[in-house]
Amino acid sequence: MLRREDAVTRPASRHTAPLHTARVAWRHSLRFRLALVYTLVALALVSMIGLGVMTLLLRSMDQQFQTRLDERADTLAEAFLTGGQGLGKSPGGTGTYTMIIDEDGQVQAATPSLRQYDKAPFPFGGQAVVELNGSPARTATRKLGDFGTLWVALPEDALLDARQSATRALLLALLVTPALMLLVGWWVGKRALADLEGAADLADRIDPTRSVATLPLPGREDEVHRLLAALNRLLVRIEAVQAREKQLLGQIVHELGAPLTVLKASLSRAAERTGDPEVTRAALVTDELTFTTQDLMQLARGQLEMKVAWHFIPAATLRGRLDRLVPGTGFAGDWGGMLLCDPDRLTQALRNLLANARRAAGPEGTVTLTLTETPDHVTFRVQDSGPGLPPELGERIFEPFISGSGSSGLGLSVSRQIAVLHGGTLTGGNAPGGGAQFVLTLPGVALGDDEEEGVEEAETPVRVS
């Protein structure tokens, strides 16, 4: 049943689903790329600076260790030569290994921790670093005159611990810095590109069929401000060009309309008087041109400017119109019901579909228009015996000036606009048995006796033809 408010106040504006703002995948976003570049640059800088600092630090520590070793060796040599102090009580301090080697390479004296080498051949000849008690030790030697050679070893445990600590600190910095830099870069990029992201969201919502809106400019006159200002100037120029094109197109269509109307009427009367098939064919050509000018006028006005005059008409009336406009059309289905529509607009939409089907099928082919009605939908199915739609076009077949049958490419675009204006849809494809198939679906209607009174009392009653 047709609800009262549907029959009386069905809006004529286009019903479309709300536009969802397109979101860029994180891996493709400018913000992520900036954050990633910022992170990689920071990582490279931290790596170079950290390695440089660690190298200088370790070199300085190594020099300090060598200086300490040399000082201990000099102190021990001087203490032995001048004071005769024992090696175990030398002023070199604890943790220092010492041995005295004679001219024959025999160890004459050693610190208590090296007693196993006492009175034995010297085992570390020419070695700068030796292993003592499980730890590496760096060595130095000093001549003791006629007594032989003083050998001194200083463990490197502290130096190795410092190296390991510096290496761990650098590795930790290299692991933590990228994560922190990526988060900071992402946050900074979000703040810096907030105006650009907002402008992109607004641009997604701009309806090109209306007046082209400009984008808001950020308060800071930076590169984003310059970019948006340039886009605004471009939008203004586009709007001016569109206005001029629509005006020119409207003027051309207006100039063509009047002569075509006169020519159509003259040829129709001549065909009725003479019955000449050539004159009849010429009258059909004027019909084709008339509908083409109507499509061009619709393109010039824009689909949102279309107005719908709702009428409640018999489906048979619509069938009679289409039979006269596109001869040779086969009709199937139930045409005994009633339709709530704009008869002129719906006739234009279906006539465009049938004319395209006739061109595709050729003079010997078949074109069938099937009407099916349910409580919820009224469906018009146009099917032809032609070669079908080019698969590479897809949904582009409904764009203006895109044609798969050699026509102007406006008919399908206008037909879909009219379908949407009625609250319906228009889809196209290839039928399973071959040929093209277009399905125009409108909301179903059925007036009941209990609602007719409400329709008559409404402010804008539906006209019944």
Looking at residue 389, its pLDDT comes to 84
Pick the more confident residue, 54 or 404: 54
Q: What is the pLDDT of residues 343-359, one digit of tens each?
A: 888 988 999 899 889 88
Pick the more confident residue, 33 or 87: 33
Q: What is the pLDDT of residues 323-340, one digit of tens each?
A: 888 888 999 999 999 999
148: which DSSP letter? -
Looking at residue 395, its pLDDT comes to 78
Mean pLDDT of 267-279: 82
pLDDT band of residue 24 (cuts 50, 70, 90) is low
Pick the more confident residue, 169 or 346: 346
Looking at residue 152, its pLDDT comes to 92
CATH of 307-464, one of 3.20.20.105, 3.40.50.620, 3.20.20.150, 3.30.565.10: 3.30.565.10
Mean pLDDT of 119-127: 89
How many whole angstroms from its chain centre is CA 193? Answer: 16
pLDDT of residue 320 exceeding 60: yes
Looking at residue 313, its pLDDT comes to 92
Looking at residue 404, its pLDDT comes to 53
pLDDT of residue 393 exceeding 80: no
Q: Which H or E run includes 162?
A: helix 157-192
Mean pLDDT of 134-151: 88
Write out the two tokens for 129: 């670093």
Angle at Cα 314 formed by Cα 310 and Cα 318, nearest 5°? 80
Looking at residue 139, its pLDDT comes to 92
Taking the C-alpha atoms of residue 90 and residue 99, their distance in angstroms, rounded to an integer, is 12
Q: What is the pLDDT of residues 73-105, one digit of tens each?
A: 888 888 888 865 544 444 445 578 899 998 888
Beta bridge partners, 440, equal 380, 426
Length of the chain: 465
Looking at residue 402, its pLDDT comes to 65
Pick the more confident residue, 297 or 424: 424
pLDDT of residue 241 exceeding 90: no
Task: Name which of 85, 7, 18, 82 is nearest 454 in CA terms.
Answer: 7
The domain locations on the chain are 223-300, 307-464
pLDDT band of residue 247 (cuts 50, 70, 90) is confident
pLDDT band of residue 235 (cuts 50, 70, 90) is confident
Looking at residue 265, its pLDDT comes to 82
Q: Which residues contact 4 (CB under 8 A, 6 or more apart)?
A: 451, 454, 455, 458
Span 223-300: which CATH code? 1.10.287.130
pLDDT of residue 25 exceeding 70: no
Looking at residue 182, its pLDDT comes to 77
Mean pLDDT of 375-380: 92
Is residue 87 packed enough to be buried (19+ CB in 10 Å), middle (13-18) or exposed (0-12)?
A: buried
Looking at residue 186, its pLDDT comes to 74
Taking the C-alpha atoms of residue 426 and residue 441, their distance in angstroms, rounded to an integer, is 6
Looking at residue 43, its pLDDT comes to 80
Q: What is the pLDDT of residues 414-463, one digit of tens each?
A: 889 889 989 999 999 888 888 899 999 999 875 444 444 433 333 334 44
